[in-house]
Amino acid sequence: MAHPSQLGFQDAASPVMEELLSFHDHALMIVLLISTLVLYIIVAMVSTKLTNMYILDSQEIEIIWTILPAFILILIALPSLRILYLMDEINNPHLTIKAIGHQWYWSYEYTDYKEIAFDSYMVPTQDLAPGQFRLLEVDHRMIVPTEAPIRVLVTAEDVLHSWTVPALGVKMDAVPGRLNQTAFIASRPGVFYGQCSEICGANHSFMPIVVEAVPLKYFQDWSTLMLEDA
């Protein structure tokens, strides 16, 4: 999860997030090179006392500074389009979970099981156990198996919400009357935190999202226990 004074992204916990981090570094390097070149040209133009009779009329340099930016845009656009298609691709999900946004909590329904559904409320500050995070911990976490494609159907009951987990590279708007879908694969066990990313009212800051990824065996044990309690 994020920590104070962090300058970069959270550690990736899904293949898509790893791709997003790589693309970010790729684009940032291009921006750095362009910025360095422009700064050098500005400093050279301001500081030099030399003149050039062809500086006001040069077809060659005009061709270069027209073609070069187009080539750079292609270098950025192609990886970006690839990741967009990867994020939109959902093939044979092993588990489908419906996330419903309310003012101001989340509900989860495991549609592959008839009896597994629960509400997820933020734990108040006075009820936090040692080691739990203020404004981020919930009373019921969304449990998913690792290394399995998970489809999340996202909707809302009242106003706009947004189901967001940065470490998994997932952000999907929850719109009343509309069913959006996204997918992720948790590549390692862990607890991943997120928050509603759409301003949804007075308690917008108090409806966190917690996804706990566990090995398949532990997920099966958890689902069996939930079915018995139901």
Query: pLDDT tens-digit profile of 10-45?
Result: 899 999 999 999 999 999 999 999 999 999 989 988
- What CATH number matches the domain at 95-229, 1.10.3720.10, 2.60.40.420, 3.90.640.10, 2.40.33.10? 2.60.40.420
Question: Considering the chain, what percentage of its residues have pLDDT values greater than 90?
Answer: 75
pLDDT attached to residue 230: 65
pLDDT attached to residue 160: 95
pLDDT attached to residue 56: 66
92: left (phi over 0), alpha (psi -120 to 50) or beta: left
Q: How far is CA 188 from CA 7, 96, 179, 218, in A?
A: 23, 19, 28, 13
For residue range 146-167, list pLDDT tens digits in order: 999 999 999 999 999 999 999 9
Token pair 């845009």 is found at 73
Peptide bond before residue 106 is cis, with ω within 30 degrees of 0: no
- What CATH number matches the domain at 15-88, 3.40.50.300, 1.10.287.90, 1.10.3080.10, 3.30.750.24? 1.10.287.90
Burial 79-105 (b: 16+ CB within 10 A, else e): eeeeeeeebeeeeebebbbbbbbbebb
pLDDT attached to residue 118: 94
pLDDT attached to residue 185: 94
Is the confidence at residue 130, as pLDDT, over 70? yes
Burial 154-185 (b: 16+ CB within 10 A, else e): bbbeebebbbbbbbbbbbbbbbeeeebebbbb
- Residue spans per domain, the chain: 15-88, 95-229
Query: Parallel, antiparallel, or unpaired: how do β-strands 142-145 and 208-214 relate?
Result: parallel
**Mean pLDDT, rounded, of the chain:** 91
Q: Classify burial at 18, counting beta carbons within 10 Å of its beta carbon; exposed 0-12, middle 13-18, buried 19 or more.
A: middle
What is the length of the chain?
Answer: 230
For residue range 95-127, list pLDDT tens digits in order: 999 999 999 999 999 999 988 999 999 999 999
